[in-house]
Amino acid sequence: MQTIAEGRMGIMPPHAQLGAETIKDVANYVRSLSGLPNDSVRAAKGKEAFTSAGCVGCHGADGKGMQALGAPNLTDKVWLYGSSEATIVETITLGRQNKMPAWKAFLGDAKGHLLTAYVTA
C-alpha cells in the first residue's frame, strides 16, 4: 500500500568494475534463477560472483529480492528491461534508476487498498 500511495525509488548501482567476463557470468546466473536458457559453465561462475560482488546484499542469497529496497525478485519471469543476456549485462554494467510514481492523490485510500489486495493476491 505504501508503494502504491507514495511511490518508490529503485536504484541498481553500476558494477562495471567486475569486468566484462564476470558480468557475463553473473548475467547467466541471473538468467538461470528464473529458468531462462543460460550457459551453465558461466552460470556456475556467476553464482560465486553474485555472492562475492555483493549482489546478495539487495537481491538476497536466493535471488528473491528485497521489496523494502526496491530490489526485484530475480527468480520470477518479470523483467522491467528485458531478460536477454545483453540487457542483463547492460543493467549490471551501467546500473538502473527507476521510480514508481505515487498514486494516492489519483486513487484515494479505498481504491489504493483494493489495488493492494489485487497485486498481493
Q: Are 104 and 8 in contact (CB under 8 A)?
A: no
For residue range 98-110, list pLDDT tens digits in order: 888 999 999 999 9
Check residue 33 and give its pLDDT.
97
In the structure, what pLDDT confidence band is assigned to residue 87 with cuts at 50, 70 and 90? very high
Check residue 70 and give its pLDDT.
81
Least confident piece of the model among 6-10, 31-35, 39-43: 6-10
C-alpha cell at 73: 525478485
C-alpha cell at 66: 528485497
Average pLDDT, the chain: 94
Q: Map out the domains of the chain as residue ranges.
A: 10-100
Q: What is the mean pLDDT of residues 9-38?
A: 96
Q: Are 92 and 18 in contact (CB under 8 A)?
A: yes
| Residue 4 CB coordination number (10 Å) | 19
Check residue 121 and give its pLDDT.
84
Q: What is the mean pLDDT of residues 54-76?
A: 92
Sign of CA dihedral 80, 81, 82, 83: negative
Give the integer Cα–Cα distance in Å for 25 and 28: 5
As a CATH number, domain 10-100 is 1.10.760.10
